Amino acid sequence: MLVDLRFDSGEVPLVTDLYELTMAASYFELGFNDRACFGMSARRLPLHRGFLVAAGLERLLEVLEHFRFEPSVIEYLDSLKLFSSRFLDYLGSLRFTGDIHAMPEGRLFFGQEPIIEVHASLIEAQLLETLVINQIGMASLIASKAARCVIAAHGKKLIDFGLRRSQGIDAGLIAARSSYLVGFDGTSNVLAGRRYTIPLYGTMAHSYIMAHDSERHAFEHFVSHFPNLSTLLVDTYDTVRGVENAAAVARTVQKEGFNLQGVRLDSGDLASLSRKARKILDDNDLKQTSIFASGNLNEYKIADLVGAGAPIDSFGIGTDLVVSADAPALDVAYKLNEYAGKPRLKTSEGKLTLPGRKQVFRAIGRDGGLAGDIIALADEDPGAVSKEFTYEVSDVVSLMSVQMKDGHRVMPRPTLLESRERFQQNLARLNLKCKELTAPAVYPVAYSHALEDMLMKQKHEAALCSAG
């Protein structure tokens, strides 16, 4: 029996917009299929963002290794009566045989910097546009939002609570994975826990309390069934009274050798209520029982609560995280930078692209911090580019590396924990002013002299092309 709530891996090539297929078909008929380079970058940072976090690459590479048009997919495309049998035969034998140059997951990046380049035949690279933007764009957007929550929390525990409000199942998985990558402690998403070995967390819903005739009985029943998962939701009726009921239950289970893990506040004035809850718990000799807060939280509210000294130990973040509510879209573009050995350039107003295959060089300052970046051409000498930084640096590193060659990975797949560690190291080296939540400093990004020269030349050639 077919169930619509599914995603068949054989359908991956159909995760595309129709015009990708019609362009590919036209390329095929014209014989346009020389080597191409497409690059993806964020045109600009969203409002209040001082940095972005690269994410989603590993999920993309996984599907590229097995990218193919299955017979059932070819049959569907044939039913559209748009494509020639020759083109469909070509798609039936197509595999991804190109190269992927990209920033690894967990690396910080900034506006206009390429985070991935696809080097492949024109048709192969064109067909990946939608998939690349969909996966890397969203994962990087959510990872960047989650990173701001990590900054705001100042070491407090953070849990992803967003699956039910995410924009679909895959979006929920991406949010759980991306948030864990940047330092969240776990997720409520059980499927994400299975797939990515992310620690699972959960409490209870108000319905559990309401299904009982007594709040205290509800607490007693839950703790008896899950003594090691005993965080009690205390705001169904009266929050202060709920904490008192939880404390009474906690004293009872202490006699049986168990400790109440925590109480959860989900509404109201969280700063005031957390102080009242802490006093009740402490007065009942429950100093080890933590306070967990949730309810429409985001980085700004967390920063306010932490700044006010609210005695909250952990935060559950849902809707605002998984839809990146204050910046729900990342303005990323996947554009042709080179074809048949020639640089290519788009000059549309407000959407200028950078021609040629590229590399990003990052300067490390004398203090070990991130000092600034230069977007350069891929074949430029790092030593020569390092001399273009206008300030003292201790080292210059290349940010993009070959991830796939001829359709195959060139290095072992990193674990999510390894990518998480890379992010933590990157964030620790970023200037504090660039981490501000509302008015971050602008991180310096410049073009190399060679890229500037190519850009000027290609603008001239584009003008000639536009003239006919």
125 and 263 inside one domain: no
The residue segments making up the domain with residue 257 are 202-293
Q: Do the beta carbons of residue 132 and residue 118 sit within 8 Å?
A: yes
Over residues 392-418, the mean pLDDT reads: 95
244 and 214 inside one domain: yes
Count of domains observed in the chain: 3
Residue type for 267, please? S
- Examine residue 40 and state whether it is found in any structural domain, yes or no: yes
Q: 184-218, pLDDT tens digit by residue? A: 999 999 999 999 999 999 989 999 999 999 999 99
Q: CA neighbours within 13 Å on the CB side: how many for 430?
A: 27
- Examine residue 95 and state whether it is found in any structural domain, yes or no: yes
Residue type for 407, please? G
**Beta strands at 445-447 and 332-339: parallel, antiparallel or unpaired:** unpaired
165 and 313 inside one domain: yes
Q: Which region holds residue 11: left if phi is over 0, alpha if psi is between -120 and 50, else beta?
A: alpha
Any idea of the CA torsion for 9, 12, 13, 18, to the nearest 10 degrees? 140
Over residues 365-384, the mean pLDDT reads: 95
**What is the pLDDT at residue 462?**
80
Over residues 233-242, the mean pLDDT reads: 97
Distance CA 109, CA 445 (A): 10
Percent of the chain whose predicted confidence (pLDDT) is above 90: 90
166 and 280 inside one domain: no
- Examine residue 410 and state whether it is found in any structural domain, yes or no: yes
Handedness of CA 186, 188, 189, 193 (dihedral sign): positive
**Beta strands at 231-233 and 108-109: parallel, antiparallel or unpaired:** unpaired
Q: Which two structure tokens, joined as six digits, stand for 172? A: 């929920």
319 and 197 inside one domain: yes
For the cut 70, the answer to whether the pLDDT of residue 2 exceeds it is no
Task: Quote the pTM value.
Answer: 0.95
Q: Quote the distance between the C-alpha of residue 10 and its chain's center.
A: 24
174 and 217 inside one domain: no
CATH code: domain of residue 314? 3.20.20.70
Confidence band for 448, pLDDT divided at 50, 70 and 90? very high
For the cut 60, the answer to whether the pLDDT of residue 220 exceeds it is yes
Spell out the alpha helix ranges (H) of 106-214: 122-127, 129-132, 138-153, 169-181, 190-196, 206-210
357 and 423 inside one domain: yes
258 and 379 inside one domain: no
Angle between helix 138-153 and 169-181 (nearest 10): 50
For the cut 90, the answer to whether the pLDDT of residue 122 exceeds it is yes
Percent of the chain whose predicted confidence (pLDDT) is above 70: 99
- Examine residue 3 and state whether it is found in any structural domain, yes or no: no
Angle CA(94)–CA(96)–CA(102) in degrees, nearest 5? 160
- Examine residue 2 and state whether it is found in any structural domain, yes or no: no
**What is the pLDDT at residue 350?**
84
Distance CA 31, CA 457 (A): 27
Distance CA 83, CA 21 (A): 9
For the cut 90, the answer to whether the pLDDT of residue 79 exceeds it is yes
Over residues 386-396, the mean pLDDT reads: 92
- Examine residue 435 and state whether it is found in any structural domain, yes or no: yes
166 and 62 inside one domain: no
132 and 21 inside one domain: yes
For the cut 90, the answer to whether the pLDDT of residue 97 exceeds it is yes
**What is the pLDDT at residue 342?**
96
339 and 459 inside one domain: yes
Secondary element (H or E) of residue 250: helix 239-254
Distance CA 195, CA 19 (A): 33
**What is the pLDDT at residue 348?**
87
Confidence band for 468, pLDDT divided at 50, 70 and 90? low
For the cut 60, the answer to whether the pLDDT of residue 1 exceeds it is no
- Mean predicted lDDT score pLDDT of the chain: 95
For the cut 90, the answer to whether the pLDDT of residue 300 exceeds it is yes
* Least confident stretch, 48-52, 236-240, 444-448, 455-459: 455-459
Q: Do the beta carbons of residue 287 and residue 130 sit within 8 Å?
A: no
Confidence band for 461, pLDDT divided at 50, 70 and 90? confident
Kindly report the number of other CB atoms within 10 A of residue 258's CB atom. Answer: 15
Buried b (16+ CB within 10 A) or exposed e, 154-165: eebbbbbbbbeb
Q: 5-51, pLDDT tens digit by residue? A: 777 888 999 999 999 999 999 999 999 999 999 999 999 999 999 99
CATH code: domain of residue 49? 3.20.140.10
Confidence band for 450, pLDDT divided at 50, 70 and 90? very high
Q: Quote the distance between the C-alpha of residue 314 and its chain's center.
A: 22
Sheet holding 370-377, edge to edge: 395-398, 358-364, 370-377, 445-447
Residue closest to 249 by CA, chosen among 227, 265, 273:
227
68 and 112 inside one domain: yes
- Examine residue 149 and state whether it is found in any structural domain, yes or no: no
